Structure 1
Protein backbone atom coordinates (compact mmCIF):
# COMPACT_ATOMS: atom_id res chain seq x y z
CA UNK A 1 0.00 0.00 0.00
CA UNK A 2 2.83 2.40 0.88
CA UNK A 3 4.43 1.84 -2.53
CA UNK A 4 1.09 2.54 -4.22
CA UNK A 5 0.77 5.84 -2.36
CA UNK A 6 4.37 7.05 -2.48
CA UNK A 7 5.03 6.06 -6.11
CA UNK A 8 1.84 5.04 -7.88
CA UNK A 9 -0.33 7.96 -6.74
CA UNK A 10 2.03 10.82 -7.72
CA UNK A 11 2.89 9.00 -10.96
CA UNK A 12 -0.80 8.62 -11.78
CA UNK A 13 -1.44 12.32 -11.20
CA UNK A 14 1.59 13.25 -13.30
CA UNK A 15 0.26 11.14 -16.19
CA UNK A 16 -3.18 12.74 -15.81
CA UNK A 17 -1.61 16.22 -15.91
CA UNK A 18 0.54 15.20 -18.89
CA UNK A 19 -2.63 14.20 -20.72
CA UNK A 20 -3.99 17.67 -19.93
CA UNK A 21 -0.84 19.33 -21.28
CA UNK A 22 -0.86 17.26 -24.46
CA UNK A 23 -4.24 18.78 -25.30
CA UNK A 24 -3.04 22.37 -24.77
CA UNK A 25 -1.41 24.83 -27.11
CA UNK A 26 0.45 28.06 -26.41
CA UNK A 27 -2.56 29.85 -27.88
CA UNK A 28 -4.62 28.62 -24.92
CA UNK A 29 -2.43 30.74 -22.64
CA UNK A 30 -2.31 33.75 -24.95
CA UNK A 31 -6.10 33.68 -25.08
CA UNK A 32 -6.17 34.86 -21.46
CA UNK A 33 -4.86 38.25 -22.60
CA UNK A 34 -7.37 38.64 -25.42
CA UNK A 35 -10.38 37.45 -23.40
CA UNK A 36 -9.41 38.84 -20.03
CA UNK A 37 -12.88 39.61 -18.65
CA UNK A 38 -14.49 36.13 -18.94
CA UNK A 39 -11.24 34.57 -17.73
CA UNK A 40 -11.13 36.92 -14.73
CA UNK A 41 -14.69 35.96 -13.73
CA UNK A 42 -13.87 32.25 -13.99
CA UNK A 43 -10.62 32.67 -12.06
CA UNK A 44 -12.41 34.63 -9.33
CA UNK A 45 -14.92 31.80 -8.94
CA UNK A 46 -12.23 29.12 -8.77
CA UNK A 47 -9.62 30.81 -6.62
CA UNK A 48 -11.77 32.86 -4.22
CA UNK A 49 -15.44 31.86 -4.17
CA UNK A 50 -14.83 28.12 -4.26
CA UNK A 51 -12.83 27.95 -0.99
CA UNK A 52 -15.28 30.36 0.66
CA UNK A 53 -18.19 28.10 -0.31
CA UNK A 54 -16.30 25.05 0.98
CA UNK A 55 -15.62 26.76 4.31
CA UNK A 56 -19.31 27.65 4.64
CA UNK A 57 -20.31 24.05 3.85
CA UNK A 58 -17.91 22.67 6.45
CA UNK A 59 -19.38 25.00 9.07
CA UNK A 60 -22.98 24.26 8.03
CA UNK A 61 -22.57 20.48 8.31
CA UNK A 62 -20.23 20.63 11.35
CA UNK A 63 -17.85 18.15 9.74
CA UNK A 64 -15.11 16.36 11.75
CA UNK A 65 -11.68 18.05 11.51
CA UNK A 66 -10.04 15.58 9.11
CA UNK A 67 -13.08 15.55 6.81
CA UNK A 68 -13.25 19.36 6.99
CA UNK A 69 -9.61 19.62 5.90
CA UNK A 70 -10.37 17.20 3.06
CA UNK A 71 -13.20 19.47 1.89
CA UNK A 72 -10.90 22.48 1.92
CA UNK A 73 -8.10 20.67 0.08
CA UNK A 74 -10.59 19.67 -2.62
CA UNK A 75 -11.73 23.28 -2.94
CA UNK A 76 -8.16 24.43 -3.58
CA UNK A 77 -7.74 22.05 -6.52
CA UNK A 78 -8.29 23.48 -10.00
CA UNK A 79 -10.47 21.87 -12.61
CA UNK A 80 -8.85 19.07 -14.59
CA UNK A 81 -9.36 17.33 -17.88
CA UNK A 82 -12.87 16.41 -16.74
CA UNK A 83 -14.04 20.02 -16.68
CA UNK A 84 -12.84 20.49 -20.26
CA UNK A 85 -14.71 17.39 -21.41
CA UNK A 86 -17.90 18.41 -19.61
CA UNK A 87 -17.70 21.92 -21.08
CA UNK A 88 -17.52 20.37 -24.54
CA UNK A 89 -20.49 18.09 -23.79
CA UNK A 90 -22.46 21.08 -22.50
CA UNK A 91 -21.74 22.99 -25.73
CA UNK A 92 -19.97 25.64 -23.70
CA UNK A 93 -16.94 27.77 -24.50
CA UNK A 94 -14.29 25.05 -24.63
CA UNK A 95 -11.48 27.51 -25.35
CA UNK A 96 -12.30 29.42 -22.16
CA UNK A 97 -12.49 26.16 -20.22
CA UNK A 98 -9.08 25.05 -21.45
CA UNK A 99 -7.55 28.46 -20.67
CA UNK A 100 -8.90 28.43 -17.12
CA UNK A 101 -7.75 24.86 -16.50
CA UNK A 102 -4.29 25.53 -17.90
CA UNK A 103 -3.51 28.76 -16.06
CA UNK A 104 -5.12 27.86 -12.71
CA UNK A 105 -3.40 24.46 -12.76
CA UNK A 106 -0.03 26.16 -13.15
CA UNK A 107 -0.81 28.77 -10.48
CA UNK A 108 -1.86 26.03 -8.03
CA UNK A 109 1.82 25.33 -7.40
CA UNK A 110 1.92 28.71 -5.61
CA UNK A 111 -1.53 28.89 -4.03
CA UNK A 112 -2.32 25.36 -2.86
CA UNK A 113 0.60 24.74 -0.43
CA UNK A 114 -0.15 27.89 1.61
CA UNK A 115 -3.91 27.32 1.66
CA UNK A 116 -3.55 23.65 2.56
CA UNK A 117 -1.18 24.45 5.45
CA UNK A 118 -3.60 27.07 6.78
CA UNK A 119 -6.57 24.68 6.62
CA UNK A 120 -4.76 21.92 8.50
CA UNK A 121 -3.68 24.24 11.30
CA UNK A 122 -7.11 25.89 11.51
CA UNK A 123 -9.24 22.74 11.66
CA UNK A 124 -6.93 20.24 13.33
CA UNK A 125 -5.13 22.47 15.82
CA UNK A 126 -2.74 20.52 18.06
CA UNK A 127 -3.44 17.32 16.08
CA UNK A 128 -2.30 18.88 12.82
CA UNK A 129 0.59 17.10 11.07
CA UNK A 130 3.63 19.21 10.28
CA UNK A 131 3.31 20.63 6.79
CA UNK A 132 6.28 21.79 4.72
CA UNK A 133 5.02 24.52 2.41
CA UNK A 134 8.26 24.38 0.43
CA UNK A 135 8.04 20.59 0.14
CA UNK A 136 4.43 20.79 -1.04
CA UNK A 137 5.31 23.48 -3.58
CA UNK A 138 8.13 21.35 -5.01
CA UNK A 139 5.86 18.30 -5.14
CA UNK A 140 3.12 20.35 -6.85
CA UNK A 141 5.65 21.52 -9.43
CA UNK A 142 6.87 17.99 -10.15
CA UNK A 143 3.46 16.31 -10.42
CA UNK A 144 1.33 19.10 -11.90
CA UNK A 145 3.21 22.04 -13.40
CA UNK A 146 6.08 20.10 -14.98
CA UNK A 147 3.91 17.43 -16.68
CA UNK A 148 1.62 20.14 -18.09
CA UNK A 149 4.62 22.06 -19.39
CA UNK A 150 6.06 18.89 -20.96
CA UNK A 151 2.72 18.13 -22.61
CA UNK A 152 2.42 21.64 -24.03
CA UNK A 153 6.01 21.42 -25.32
CA UNK A 154 5.35 18.08 -27.00
CA UNK A 155 2.32 19.50 -28.81
CA UNK A 156 4.24 22.63 -29.81
CA UNK A 157 7.33 20.87 -31.18
CA UNK A 158 5.85 17.52 -32.31
CA UNK A 159 2.17 18.03 -33.01
CA UNK A 160 1.73 14.84 -35.06
CA UNK A 161 3.24 12.76 -32.26
CA UNK A 162 1.01 14.55 -29.75
CA UNK A 163 -2.09 13.79 -31.82
CA UNK A 164 -1.12 10.10 -32.01
CA UNK A 165 -0.60 9.60 -28.29
CA UNK A 166 -3.35 11.88 -26.98
CA UNK A 167 -6.26 9.37 -27.26
CA UNK A 168 -4.35 6.57 -25.54
CA UNK A 169 -3.00 8.91 -22.89
CA UNK A 170 -6.51 10.20 -22.16
CA UNK A 171 -7.82 6.65 -21.72
CA UNK A 172 -4.90 5.80 -19.43
CA UNK A 173 -5.55 8.94 -17.39
CA UNK A 174 -9.22 7.98 -16.98
CA UNK A 175 -8.32 4.46 -15.88
CA UNK A 176 -5.79 5.76 -13.36
CA UNK A 177 -8.35 8.23 -12.00
CA UNK A 178 -10.82 5.41 -11.32
CA UNK A 179 -8.16 3.26 -9.65
CA UNK A 180 -6.98 6.11 -7.42
CA UNK A 181 -10.54 6.88 -6.25
CA UNK A 182 -11.28 3.21 -5.51
CA UNK A 183 -7.99 2.75 -3.66
CA UNK A 184 -8.63 5.82 -1.48
CA UNK A 185 -12.11 4.57 -0.60
CA UNK A 186 -10.85 1.07 0.17
CA UNK A 187 -8.07 2.46 2.36
CA UNK A 188 -10.57 4.38 4.52
CA UNK A 189 -13.58 2.11 4.17
CA UNK A 190 -14.82 2.25 7.77
CA UNK A 191 -14.42 6.01 7.95
CA UNK A 192 -16.20 6.22 4.61
CA UNK A 193 -19.13 4.15 5.92
CA UNK A 194 -19.31 6.06 9.21
CA UNK A 195 -19.37 9.49 7.53
CA UNK A 196 -21.04 8.73 4.21
CA UNK A 197 -24.36 10.39 5.11
CA UNK A 198 -23.09 13.74 6.31
CA UNK A 199 -20.09 13.79 3.96
CA UNK A 200 -22.17 12.85 0.92
CA UNK A 201 -24.77 15.49 1.75
CA UNK A 202 -22.07 18.10 2.24
CA UNK A 203 -20.29 17.26 -1.03
CA UNK A 204 -23.50 17.27 -3.05
CA UNK A 205 -24.57 20.57 -1.48
CA UNK A 206 -21.16 22.11 -2.19
CA UNK A 207 -21.05 20.80 -5.76
CA UNK A 208 -24.59 21.97 -6.51
CA UNK A 209 -23.99 25.35 -4.88
CA UNK A 210 -20.79 25.92 -6.84
CA UNK A 211 -22.40 25.12 -10.19
CA UNK A 212 -25.17 27.61 -9.41
CA UNK A 213 -22.82 30.27 -8.01
CA UNK A 214 -20.59 30.08 -11.07
CA UNK A 215 -23.57 30.31 -13.40
CA UNK A 216 -25.19 33.13 -11.46
CA UNK A 217 -22.07 35.27 -11.20
CA UNK A 218 -21.32 34.78 -14.91
CA UNK A 219 -24.82 35.93 -15.84
CA UNK A 220 -24.63 38.92 -13.48
CA UNK A 221 -21.30 39.78 -15.14
CA UNK A 222 -23.14 39.73 -18.48
CA UNK A 223 -21.08 36.94 -20.02
CA UNK A 224 -22.49 35.08 -23.00
CA UNK A 225 -24.52 31.95 -22.35
CA UNK A 226 -21.72 29.69 -23.60
CA UNK A 227 -19.22 31.49 -21.37
CA UNK A 228 -21.60 31.26 -18.41
CA UNK A 229 -21.99 27.51 -18.88
CA UNK A 230 -18.23 27.10 -18.89
CA UNK A 231 -17.69 29.23 -15.78
CA UNK A 232 -20.35 27.17 -14.00
CA UNK A 233 -18.62 23.91 -14.87
CA UNK A 234 -15.13 25.21 -14.09
CA UNK A 235 -16.36 26.40 -10.70
CA UNK A 236 -18.20 23.20 -9.84
CA UNK A 237 -15.77 20.55 -11.12
CA UNK A 238 -12.47 20.01 -9.28
CA UNK A 239 -9.46 17.74 -9.87
CA UNK A 240 -10.21 15.12 -7.20
CA UNK A 241 -7.08 13.11 -8.03
CA UNK A 242 -4.99 16.10 -7.01
CA UNK A 243 -6.94 16.31 -3.75
CA UNK A 244 -6.20 12.65 -2.97
CA UNK A 245 -2.53 13.11 -3.84
CA UNK A 246 -2.20 16.24 -1.70
CA UNK A 247 -3.69 14.40 1.27
CA UNK A 248 -1.10 11.66 0.87
CA UNK A 249 1.75 14.15 0.56
CA UNK A 250 0.64 15.99 3.69
CA UNK A 251 0.23 12.97 5.99
CA UNK A 252 2.81 10.56 4.55
CA UNK A 253 2.34 6.85 3.88
CA UNK A 254 2.72 5.30 7.34
CA UNK A 255 -0.96 4.50 7.75
CA UNK A 256 -2.17 4.02 4.18
CA UNK A 257 -4.43 6.47 2.41
CA UNK A 258 -5.08 9.52 4.55
CA UNK A 259 -8.59 10.27 5.85
CA UNK A 260 -8.00 13.73 4.39
CA UNK A 261 -8.32 12.10 0.96
CA UNK A 262 -11.80 10.75 1.60
CA UNK A 263 -13.84 13.82 0.51
CA UNK A 264 -11.92 13.98 -2.78
CA UNK A 265 -12.46 10.26 -3.36
CA UNK A 266 -16.21 10.45 -2.72
CA UNK A 267 -16.44 13.63 -4.78
CA UNK A 268 -14.80 11.79 -7.67
CA UNK A 269 -18.02 9.75 -7.83
CA UNK A 270 -20.75 12.20 -6.76
CA UNK A 271 -19.66 15.02 -9.07
CA UNK A 272 -20.89 13.13 -12.12
CA UNK A 273 -24.32 12.55 -10.58
CA UNK A 274 -24.62 16.24 -9.68
CA UNK A 275 -23.20 17.58 -12.95
CA UNK A 276 -25.21 15.35 -15.31
CA UNK A 277 -28.55 17.23 -14.98
CA UNK A 278 -26.72 20.52 -15.57
CA UNK A 279 -24.98 19.15 -18.65
CA UNK A 280 -28.28 17.94 -20.10
CA UNK A 281 -29.91 21.31 -19.37
CA UNK A 282 -26.98 23.22 -20.86
CA UNK A 283 -27.08 21.11 -24.03
CA UNK A 284 -30.74 21.92 -24.59
CA UNK A 285 -30.23 25.69 -24.30
Structure 2
Protein backbone atom coordinates (compact mmCIF):
# COMPACT_ATOMS: atom_id res chain seq x y z
CA UNK A 1 0.00 0.00 0.00
CA UNK A 2 2.85 2.39 0.85
CA UNK A 3 4.47 1.69 -2.53
CA UNK A 4 1.21 2.33 -4.39
CA UNK A 5 1.16 5.82 -2.89
CA UNK A 6 4.91 6.49 -2.88
CA UNK A 7 5.55 5.65 -6.57
CA UNK A 8 2.95 8.05 -8.08
CA UNK A 9 3.93 10.72 -5.55
CA UNK A 10 7.61 10.37 -6.45
CA UNK A 11 6.79 10.56 -10.16
CA UNK A 12 4.65 13.66 -9.57
CA UNK A 13 7.56 15.34 -7.78
CA UNK A 14 9.92 14.42 -10.62
CA UNK A 15 7.50 15.85 -13.19
CA UNK A 16 7.07 18.97 -11.07
CA UNK A 17 10.84 19.41 -11.18
CA UNK A 18 10.61 19.31 -14.97
CA UNK A 19 7.94 21.98 -15.05
CA UNK A 20 9.79 24.06 -12.46
CA UNK A 21 12.60 24.50 -14.97
CA UNK A 22 10.30 25.55 -17.84
CA UNK A 23 8.91 28.84 -19.06
CA UNK A 24 6.09 29.54 -21.49
CA UNK A 25 8.75 30.49 -24.02
CA UNK A 26 9.90 26.86 -24.08
CA UNK A 27 6.52 25.87 -25.50
CA UNK A 28 6.64 28.80 -27.93
CA UNK A 29 9.65 27.23 -29.65
CA UNK A 30 7.23 24.82 -31.29
CA UNK A 31 6.47 27.73 -33.62
CA UNK A 32 9.92 29.33 -33.80
CA UNK A 33 11.76 26.05 -34.46
CA UNK A 34 9.04 24.02 -36.22
CA UNK A 35 11.22 21.69 -38.30
CA UNK A 36 13.46 20.70 -35.39
CA UNK A 37 10.54 20.30 -32.98
CA UNK A 38 8.38 18.29 -35.40
CA UNK A 39 11.32 16.06 -36.30
CA UNK A 40 12.06 15.44 -32.63
CA UNK A 41 8.44 14.64 -31.84
CA UNK A 42 8.03 12.23 -34.76
CA UNK A 43 11.30 10.49 -33.98
CA UNK A 44 10.38 9.93 -30.35
CA UNK A 45 6.69 9.14 -30.72
CA UNK A 46 6.94 6.97 -33.86
CA UNK A 47 10.51 5.94 -34.73
CA UNK A 48 11.58 5.03 -31.19
CA UNK A 49 8.72 2.53 -30.57
CA UNK A 50 9.25 1.02 -34.04
CA UNK A 51 12.95 0.41 -33.31
CA UNK A 52 12.08 -1.07 -29.90
CA UNK A 53 9.45 -3.34 -31.44
CA UNK A 54 11.90 -4.64 -34.06
CA UNK A 55 14.57 -5.39 -31.44
CA UNK A 56 12.09 -7.10 -29.13
CA UNK A 57 10.66 -9.15 -32.01
CA UNK A 58 14.15 -10.44 -32.81
CA UNK A 59 14.81 -11.41 -29.18
CA UNK A 60 13.62 -14.28 -27.00
CA UNK A 61 12.53 -12.16 -24.06
CA UNK A 62 9.61 -13.44 -21.96
CA UNK A 63 6.34 -11.70 -22.93
CA UNK A 64 6.23 -9.66 -19.71
CA UNK A 65 9.70 -8.21 -20.25
CA UNK A 66 8.99 -7.60 -23.95
CA UNK A 67 5.94 -5.59 -22.92
CA UNK A 68 8.10 -3.73 -20.40
CA UNK A 69 10.54 -2.69 -23.14
CA UNK A 70 7.66 -1.34 -25.20
CA UNK A 71 6.22 0.57 -22.24
CA UNK A 72 9.63 2.21 -21.82
CA UNK A 73 9.76 3.05 -25.53
CA UNK A 74 6.44 4.88 -25.33
CA UNK A 75 7.64 7.18 -22.53
CA UNK A 76 8.91 10.73 -23.14
CA UNK A 77 12.46 11.88 -22.52
CA UNK A 78 13.84 11.89 -19.01
CA UNK A 79 14.43 14.93 -16.84
CA UNK A 80 18.22 14.54 -17.24
CA UNK A 81 18.08 14.80 -21.04
CA UNK A 82 18.80 18.54 -21.07
CA UNK A 83 21.96 18.05 -19.00
CA UNK A 84 23.15 15.30 -21.33
CA UNK A 85 22.24 17.44 -24.35
CA UNK A 86 24.47 20.19 -22.98
CA UNK A 87 27.27 17.66 -22.49
CA UNK A 88 26.81 16.54 -26.09
CA UNK A 89 26.97 20.10 -27.42
CA UNK A 90 23.34 19.94 -28.53
CA UNK A 91 20.67 22.63 -28.53
CA UNK A 92 19.57 22.73 -24.89
CA UNK A 93 16.56 24.97 -25.57
CA UNK A 94 15.27 22.44 -28.10
CA UNK A 95 15.82 19.63 -25.61
CA UNK A 96 13.78 21.41 -22.94
CA UNK A 97 10.98 22.08 -25.44
CA UNK A 98 10.87 18.49 -26.72
CA UNK A 99 10.84 17.03 -23.21
CA UNK A 100 8.01 19.35 -22.19
CA UNK A 101 5.84 18.89 -25.29
CA UNK A 102 6.27 15.11 -25.54
CA UNK A 103 5.66 14.70 -21.80
CA UNK A 104 2.28 16.38 -22.23
CA UNK A 105 1.52 14.42 -25.43
CA UNK A 106 2.30 11.16 -23.63
CA UNK A 107 -0.92 11.51 -21.65
CA UNK A 108 -2.68 10.70 -24.93
CA UNK A 109 -0.18 8.46 -26.72
CA UNK A 110 1.05 6.17 -23.93
CA UNK A 111 -2.31 4.68 -22.79
CA UNK A 112 -3.36 3.81 -26.35
CA UNK A 113 -0.01 2.29 -27.33
CA UNK A 114 0.29 0.40 -24.05
CA UNK A 115 -3.17 -1.05 -24.58
CA UNK A 116 -2.16 -2.36 -28.00
CA UNK A 117 1.17 -3.75 -26.76
CA UNK A 118 -0.42 -5.52 -23.81
CA UNK A 119 -2.78 -7.42 -26.11
CA UNK A 120 -0.01 -8.13 -28.62
CA UNK A 121 2.60 -9.51 -26.22
CA UNK A 122 0.47 -11.09 -23.49
CA UNK A 123 -2.43 -12.36 -25.58
CA UNK A 124 -4.99 -14.25 -23.52
CA UNK A 125 -2.92 -13.64 -20.38
CA UNK A 126 -3.25 -9.86 -20.74
CA UNK A 127 -4.89 -8.13 -17.80
CA UNK A 128 -8.04 -6.17 -18.52
CA UNK A 129 -7.01 -2.57 -19.14
CA UNK A 130 -8.97 0.61 -18.76
CA UNK A 131 -7.12 2.85 -21.21
CA UNK A 132 -9.11 5.90 -20.15
CA UNK A 133 -8.22 5.32 -16.49
CA UNK A 134 -4.53 4.99 -17.35
CA UNK A 135 -4.73 8.24 -19.30
CA UNK A 136 -6.42 10.03 -16.41
CA UNK A 137 -3.87 8.70 -13.91
CA UNK A 138 -1.04 9.83 -16.16
CA UNK A 139 -2.64 13.25 -16.50
CA UNK A 140 -2.82 13.65 -12.72
CA UNK A 141 0.73 12.51 -11.97
CA UNK A 142 2.54 13.91 -15.02
CA UNK A 143 0.75 16.76 -16.80
CA UNK A 144 -0.69 18.46 -13.70
CA UNK A 145 2.67 18.64 -11.83
CA UNK A 146 4.39 19.99 -14.97
CA UNK A 147 1.77 22.72 -15.34
CA UNK A 148 2.01 23.60 -11.63
CA UNK A 149 5.79 23.86 -11.95
CA UNK A 150 5.54 26.14 -15.00
CA UNK A 151 2.97 28.38 -13.33
CA UNK A 152 5.00 28.61 -10.13
CA UNK A 153 8.08 29.70 -12.08
CA UNK A 154 5.93 32.26 -13.93
CA UNK A 155 4.49 33.87 -10.80
CA UNK A 156 7.63 33.56 -8.66
CA UNK A 157 10.71 33.47 -10.93
CA UNK A 158 13.08 34.51 -8.13
CA UNK A 159 11.87 31.69 -5.91
CA UNK A 160 12.23 29.25 -8.82
CA UNK A 161 15.78 30.37 -9.54
CA UNK A 162 16.77 29.86 -5.90
CA UNK A 163 15.23 26.43 -5.48
CA UNK A 164 15.34 24.84 -8.95
CA UNK A 165 18.64 23.04 -8.29
CA UNK A 166 17.38 21.71 -4.95
CA UNK A 167 14.16 20.43 -6.51
CA UNK A 168 16.17 18.79 -9.31
CA UNK A 169 18.37 17.07 -6.72
CA UNK A 170 15.31 15.71 -4.91
CA UNK A 171 13.98 14.43 -8.25
CA UNK A 172 17.29 12.69 -8.99
CA UNK A 173 17.34 11.00 -5.57
CA UNK A 174 13.75 9.81 -6.03
CA UNK A 175 14.63 8.45 -9.47
CA UNK A 176 17.47 6.37 -7.99
CA UNK A 177 15.22 5.06 -5.20
CA UNK A 178 12.47 4.04 -7.64
CA UNK A 179 14.91 2.21 -9.94
CA UNK A 180 16.42 0.38 -6.96
CA UNK A 181 12.97 -0.55 -5.64
CA UNK A 182 11.85 -1.92 -9.01
CA UNK A 183 14.96 -4.09 -9.34
CA UNK A 184 14.77 -5.31 -5.74
CA UNK A 185 11.10 -6.26 -6.07
CA UNK A 186 11.85 -8.35 -9.18
CA UNK A 187 15.39 -9.44 -8.35
CA UNK A 188 15.00 -13.09 -9.35
CA UNK A 189 13.55 -12.19 -12.76
CA UNK A 190 16.23 -9.54 -13.22
CA UNK A 191 19.06 -11.98 -12.52
CA UNK A 192 17.51 -14.63 -14.77
CA UNK A 193 17.12 -12.31 -17.74
CA UNK A 194 19.76 -9.60 -17.35
CA UNK A 195 22.07 -11.39 -19.79
CA UNK A 196 19.46 -10.98 -22.53
CA UNK A 197 17.70 -7.84 -21.37
CA UNK A 198 20.73 -5.59 -20.80
CA UNK A 199 22.22 -6.11 -24.32
CA UNK A 200 18.82 -5.39 -25.90
CA UNK A 201 18.40 -2.18 -23.91
CA UNK A 202 21.97 -1.07 -24.54
CA UNK A 203 21.57 -1.88 -28.23
CA UNK A 204 18.34 0.11 -28.31
CA UNK A 205 20.14 3.03 -26.68
CA UNK A 206 23.00 2.94 -29.18
CA UNK A 207 20.71 2.66 -32.22
CA UNK A 208 18.62 5.60 -31.04
CA UNK A 209 21.68 7.79 -30.52
CA UNK A 210 22.89 7.18 -34.06
CA UNK A 211 19.42 7.29 -35.64
CA UNK A 212 18.61 10.65 -34.09
CA UNK A 213 21.68 12.32 -35.56
CA UNK A 214 21.31 10.57 -38.94
CA UNK A 215 17.69 11.60 -39.48
CA UNK A 216 18.37 15.16 -38.29
CA UNK A 217 21.11 15.48 -40.90
CA UNK A 218 18.83 13.95 -43.53
CA UNK A 219 16.20 16.66 -42.99
CA UNK A 220 18.81 19.42 -42.95
CA UNK A 221 19.01 20.26 -39.25
CA UNK A 222 22.21 21.58 -37.66
CA UNK A 223 24.62 19.31 -35.85
CA UNK A 224 23.57 20.79 -32.51
CA UNK A 225 19.87 20.10 -33.20
CA UNK A 226 20.72 16.57 -34.30
CA UNK A 227 22.68 15.90 -31.14
CA UNK A 228 19.74 17.13 -29.10
CA UNK A 229 17.26 14.87 -30.88
CA UNK A 230 19.70 11.98 -30.51
CA UNK A 231 19.85 12.42 -26.74
CA UNK A 232 16.09 12.98 -26.42
CA UNK A 233 15.48 9.64 -28.15
CA UNK A 234 18.01 7.77 -26.05
CA UNK A 235 17.16 9.09 -22.58
CA UNK A 236 13.71 7.89 -21.57
CA UNK A 237 11.65 8.68 -18.48
CA UNK A 238 12.29 5.36 -16.76
CA UNK A 239 10.33 6.46 -13.68
CA UNK A 240 7.22 6.91 -15.79
CA UNK A 241 7.85 3.50 -17.36
CA UNK A 242 7.86 1.90 -13.93
CA UNK A 243 4.70 3.77 -12.93
CA UNK A 244 2.84 2.80 -16.13
CA UNK A 245 3.90 -0.82 -15.63
CA UNK A 246 2.21 -0.66 -12.25
CA UNK A 247 -0.95 0.73 -13.84
CA UNK A 248 -0.99 -2.16 -16.32
CA UNK A 249 -0.58 -4.77 -13.62
CA UNK A 250 -3.13 -3.07 -11.35
CA UNK A 251 -1.70 -5.02 -8.42
CA UNK A 252 0.23 -4.26 -5.27
CA UNK A 253 4.00 -3.90 -5.63
CA UNK A 254 6.14 -3.34 -8.73
CA UNK A 255 5.45 -5.86 -11.55
CA UNK A 256 7.83 -7.59 -13.93
CA UNK A 257 6.82 -5.16 -16.67
CA UNK A 258 8.77 -2.52 -14.74
CA UNK A 259 12.10 -4.37 -14.90
CA UNK A 260 13.18 -3.07 -18.36
CA UNK A 261 12.55 0.53 -17.29
CA UNK A 262 14.52 -0.02 -14.09
CA UNK A 263 17.44 -1.60 -15.95
CA UNK A 264 17.35 1.13 -18.58
CA UNK A 265 17.51 3.69 -15.80
CA UNK A 266 21.08 2.43 -15.33
CA UNK A 267 22.19 1.30 -18.79
CA UNK A 268 21.09 4.48 -20.57
CA UNK A 269 23.82 6.40 -18.76
CA UNK A 270 26.38 3.66 -19.41
CA UNK A 271 25.76 3.97 -23.16
CA UNK A 272 24.72 7.61 -23.51
CA UNK A 273 27.60 9.25 -21.64
CA UNK A 274 30.39 7.87 -23.86
CA UNK A 275 28.05 7.90 -26.85
CA UNK A 276 27.41 11.65 -26.73
CA UNK A 277 31.13 12.33 -26.40
CA UNK A 278 31.79 10.39 -29.60
CA UNK A 279 28.86 12.00 -31.43
CA UNK A 280 29.99 15.47 -30.35
CA UNK A 281 33.45 14.84 -31.80
CA UNK A 282 31.93 13.73 -35.11
CA UNK A 283 28.94 16.05 -35.51
CA UNK A 284 29.48 18.87 -33.02
CA UNK A 285 30.78 21.39 -35.57
CA UNK A 286 28.42 20.57 -38.45
Q: Does 1:277 align with 2:274?
A: yes
Secondary structure in 2 aligned to 1:46? helix
Q: Deviations over 1:44-85 (max 9, x none)?
A: 110000000010010111221100100000000000211111
> How do 1:234-273 residues align onto structure 2 when only pairs under 5 Å count?
234-254=232-252, 256-273=253-270
Runs of at least 4 residues of structure 1 off by over 2 A?
A: 281-285
Give me the whole-angstrom Cα distance separating, in 2, the residues matched to 1:250 and 1:180.
17
Kept in 1: contact 2:19–2:149 (CA 8 A): yes
- Structure 1 segment 81-100 matched on structure 2, within 5 A: 81-100=79-98
Is 2:91–2:228's contact at 8 Å kept on the other side of the alignment? yes
Contact residue 20 and residue 80 of structure 1 kept, 8 A: no
Say yes or no: does 1:3 pair with 2:2. yes
Q: C-alpha distance in 2, partners of 1:136/1:57?
A: 26
Distance in structure 2 (CA, Å) of the matches to 1:278 and 1:198: 21
Aligned ranges 1:178-197 → 2 under 5 Å: 178-197=176-195
- Shift of residue 283, structure 1, vs aligned partner: 4.5
- Cα pair 1:29 1:102 within 8 Å, conserved: yes
Contact 2:65/2:256 (8 A) holds in 1: yes
Q: Which residue of 1 aligns with 2:162?
A: 164
Question: Counterparts of 1:80 and 1:23 in 2: how far apart (Å)?
Answer: 13
Q: In 2, distance between residues paired with 1:83 and 1:60?
A: 28
SS of the equivalent of 2:251 reads: coil
What 5-or-longer segments of structure 1 have no aligned partner?
none
The 5 Å alignment of 1:139-150 reads: 139-150=137-148
Helix, strand or coil for the counterpart of 1:222? coil
Give the match for residue 71 of structure 1: 69
1:189-215 Cα offsets, whole Å, 9 max, x none, are: 000000001101110111111111111
Shift, 1:31, TM fit: 0.8
- Cα RMSD over matched residues? 0.9
**Which residue of the partner structure matches residue 20 of structure 1?**
18
Specify every segment of 5 or more residues in structure 2 that has no aligned partner in the other structure, as ranges: none
CA–CA separation in structure 2 for the residues paired with 1:234 and 1:86: 9
Q: Deviations over 1:149-187 (max 9, x none)?
A: 000001111111111221111000000000000000000
CA contact (8 A) 2:206 2:275 kept: no
CA shift at 1:277, angstroms? Answer: 1.3
Provide TM-score, normalisation by structure 1: 0.97
1:163-242 matches, within 5 Å, as 163-242=161-240
**Distance in 1 (alpha carbons) for counterparts of 2:233 and 2:123:** 29
Count matched residues: 282
What is the alpha-carbon distance in structure 1 between the residues aligned to residue 50 and residue 74 of structure 2?
A: 10
Cα distance, 1:236 vs structure 2: 1.2
Listed as ranges, the matches of 1:47-126 within 5 Å are 47-126=45-124
Q: Distance in 1 between matches of 2:142 and 2:205?
A: 23
1:252 CA displacement: 2.2
TM-score normalised per structure 2: 0.97
